[in-house]
Amino acid sequence: MIEIKQLTKRFGNLTAVDNLDLHIETGDIFGFIGPNGAGKTTTMRILVTLMEPTSGAAFIDGLDVTKKGKDVRRRVGYMPDFMGVYDDLKVFEYLEFFAAAFGIEYRKRKAIVEGVLELTDLVSKQSAAVDSLSRGMQQRLGLARVLIHDPKALILDEPASGLDPRARIEIRELLRELKRMGKTIMISSHILSELEEICDRVGIIEHGRLVFGGTLEEIRPRLGIHSKVRVKVLGDDSKAIELLTALPQIQAVEAAGDHLSVTFCEGVQTDGIIARTLVHGGVDLVYLQPEQLKLDDAFLKLTKGMVH
């Protein structure tokens, strides 16, 4: 759905995006991560035709963003990090205004606006003044606005910025619903734990270059991180530690509070051997749970020059 090929953007002597290659599959939620000034917003602005690249190409739904701008804008919804609002409009009027701007026929506007209000849970606020809304409500209104013309792809720049925990959860659930509707979503954020829960794939960018693109599981070999599982057994841990340490597939077994942290050797990723070994050894297994690689850890390692 979204394809970026050797994309470069320079501002004088500053290179904001440097030979960037990126591919986002249809229907995916893609997390775009990077420090401030890494090139995230510049990339997004090029994708939505607000900025021309210095070189390279970008495509949305197979359309070149520099040559088919009008067609691209019909297929994409863009939400910047700070959304401008019109103080003298009510929520319903605000959305009707944008429906008109997108060229939606007058007789269809009311039903479309009602639909996006329901989707974003803003029906109860439709008569409220836009400037009276909380930050979380304004962010939902921003999503309602970009959905007015039913775009195939959504490009969202820091949509959870400045939101309280409840509002972040609500935005996250809304994004999941949009994915279920078949939307392709590219989202940038500094709240890495939020992206970790909803993204199919992530791209980590630094100094305009992509340092990683893929799933969290694919990032493990790049960081030299081996698979781990949490193991809890009934009673004393000592026998479990003895049994598991003897396995050639296991690199390390460590006590970690009320459970054991078991690290597999590189290239090994099977939980069955642990369960079988403990059961055959007469140890009662309470639970066995894979330990997830945290996106924060990956981000810090990849953007500090620790991996090349």
pTM of the predicted protein model = 0.75
> What pLDDT is attached to residue 297?
67
Mean pLDDT of 225-246: 87
Q: How much is the mean pLDDT over the chain? A: 87
What is the percent of the chain where pLDDT is above 70? 87
Q: How far apart are CA 127 and CA 236, in angstroms?
A: 63
Q: pLDDT band at 191, cuts 50/70/90? A: low
- pLDDT at position 306: 41
Torsion of CA 279, 282, 286, 291, to 10 degrees: -60
For 62-99, how does the pLDDT look when each residue is reduced to its tens digit (9 = 90+)? 999 999 999 999 999 999 987 766 778 999 999 999 99
Q: What residue ranges define each of the domains in the chain, with the CATH number in brackets?
A: 2-220 (3.40.50.300), 226-292 (3.30.70.100)
Examine the pLDDT at 189 and tell me if it is beyond 70: yes
Q: pLDDT value at position 303? A: 67
Which pLDDT score is estimated for 190?
A: 67
pLDDT score, position 212:
85
pLDDT tens track for 47-65: 999 999 999 999 999 999 9
In this predicted structure, the answer to whether residue 307 has a pLDDT above a threshold of 50 is no
Residue 231 has pLDDT above 60, yes or no: yes
Distance, CA of 150 to CA of 173 (rounded, Å): 19
**What tens digit of pLDDT does each residue of 258-293 get?**
899 888 886 665 668 888 999 999 999 998 887 765
Residue 14 β-bridge partners? 11
Q: What is the pLDDT of residues 102-153, one digit of tens each?
A: 999 999 999 999 999 999 999 999 999 998 998 889 889 999 999 999 999 9
